[in-house]
Structure 1
Amino acid sequence: MDHKFRQHSASSLVLIDMMVNNSTNGTEDAAEENTVAFPDHLYNQASKASAEDKLAFAVQVLKEVCVLFEEDSSSSSWEESTVENFLNVVNKQADELQSCIGSHGHKKKNTKLHMYFKRLSNHILKKMGHSAEAWELIRRETKDHLMRADMLVSSLLTSN
């Protein structure tokens, strides 16, 4: 798990950095009026959870990111192949972490985390018409999630 997770995590961060929107003028204004508070409290709760629950939380974050990025991103300035590679890496990461949880790891989803990602979709993407600015906000938010999920899983790797 150690080697593969770190490799996939690094790849996903490189790919999401490649997707940065070059035409970011106007994004700052958009960011102020269209925000969804980052769920720090959910990550704090997860960081105090059991190893299995930490993994389950990280898997859910990765799966929610994939669902978000499967929405219409045609107005973003991203290369389609980069988005596909990003989704492949994140899906692979989620699947491989899921396999570490075991058969009894099919707990119900964290509803608050799911609702947070729904709000990202509804209050940013849909409200802003899936615009390039909306996707840039989502990209930045997603990068934060990838880094937090990485820290969560890495805490398990270093404690062994």
Structure 2
Amino acid sequence: MHLKAVGMYCTLTLLSWSFAQGCTWMQPREKGSQSNFKVISYHSIQLLEQMGDGNTQRKTSAQVLNRLYEHSENMQAEERVFFIHEVINHIKELFINGKCDTVTWDQKNFQMFQLNLDRQASELKQCIRTLKSRGSHASSFKKIKTYFKRMLLESKNYSTDDWEAVRAEVLTHLRRLDILASMEKESWRQRH
């Protein structure tokens, strides 16, 4: 009976310690390493680059969100996690619900890319459960939602070239999110 109590105490201690640590998905595993988010993010960017026609320098409308990204750079670390989660979720939804049957992308890379998005969204969802409310930035999230909703509605009639433009635009977003995640690493390093 005493062994069960010790086991339960250890389990509760580990759980409470885990929640106190915050979002470990965004934190480096050890000094000098990358976070799990950064590893998957880098892989997602590589896959998206490989899927395309090589023309990733196209002009995109991602500049619409430039002010939001600049604003997010001044957010607290926890708020940046909410922002990253919001954008990842919308990108994921775009590729799940968009009519991308005209694309000529390598299907294996495309599936891996979608799995990466799903993993990031899932892990970030776990993170935000342990973080404070995001209420102070509701207007930013509404703008993100409107932006991606427009893209999703337009995706119903996208041609292969249009999907290439979307791919380039999403690539821009993923690179910006990667920069934000680097800021999270810096703030984690400063706290420890």
Which TM-score applies when normalising by structure 2? 0.69
Tell me the secondary structure at the aligned position of residue 100 of structure 2: coil
Could you say what secondary structure the match of 1:73 adopts? coil
Indicate yes or no: 2:166 matched with 1:119.
no
Query: 1-side partners of 2:63 and 2:39: how far apart?
Result: 29
Quote how far apart the aligned CAs of 1:105 are.
4.8
Superposed counterparts of 1:123-142, under 5 Å? 123=154, 125-126=155-156, 129-142=157-170
Structure 1: gaps (5+ residues): none
Instruction: Name the counterpart of 1:5.
Output: 37
Provide the C-alpha distance between the structure 2 equivalents of 1:68 and 1:121, rounded to a whole number of angstroms: 6
Code of the residue aligned with 2:149 in structure 1: it is: K
The alpha carbon displacement at 1:106 in A equals 6.0
Contact 1:21/1:77 (<8 A) preserved = no
Q: 1: distance between equivalents of 2:129 and 2:39?
A: 22
Equivalent position of 1:47 in the other structure: 73
Matched, 1:57 2:83: yes
Mapped contact 2:88–2:121 kept (Cα < 8 A): yes
What amino acid maps onto 2:143 in structure 1?
K
Given the superposition, is the C-alpha separation of residues 80 and 47 from structure 1 closer, same or farther in structure 2, using an over 3 Å criterion?
Answer: same
Tell me the amino acid that sits aligned with residue 43 of structure 1: Y
Aligned residues: 149
List per-residue Cα deviations over 1:87-106 (Å, max 9, x = no partner). 11112122223323334556
In structure 2, the residue matched to 1:152 is 180
Residue by residue over 1:53-102, the C-alpha shift from the partner in whole angstroms, topping out at 9 and shown as x without a partner, is 10000011111000011112110111222222101111212222332333
For structure 2, which runs of at least 5 residues remain unmatched after alignment?
1-24, 29-34
CA distance in 2 between partners of 1:92 and 1:106 (Å): 22
TM-score (norm 1): 0.82
Kindly indicate whether the alpha-carbon contact (under 8 Å) linking 1:36 and 1:120 is maintained by their aligned counterparts in 2.
no
**Higher RCO (Cα < 8 Å, 6 or more apart):** 1
8 Å contact 1:66–1:91 — kept in the other structure?
yes
Structure 2 vs 1, CA of residues 77 and 106 (structure 1 numbering), >3 Å: closer, same or farther? Answer: farther
SS at the partner of 2:64? coil
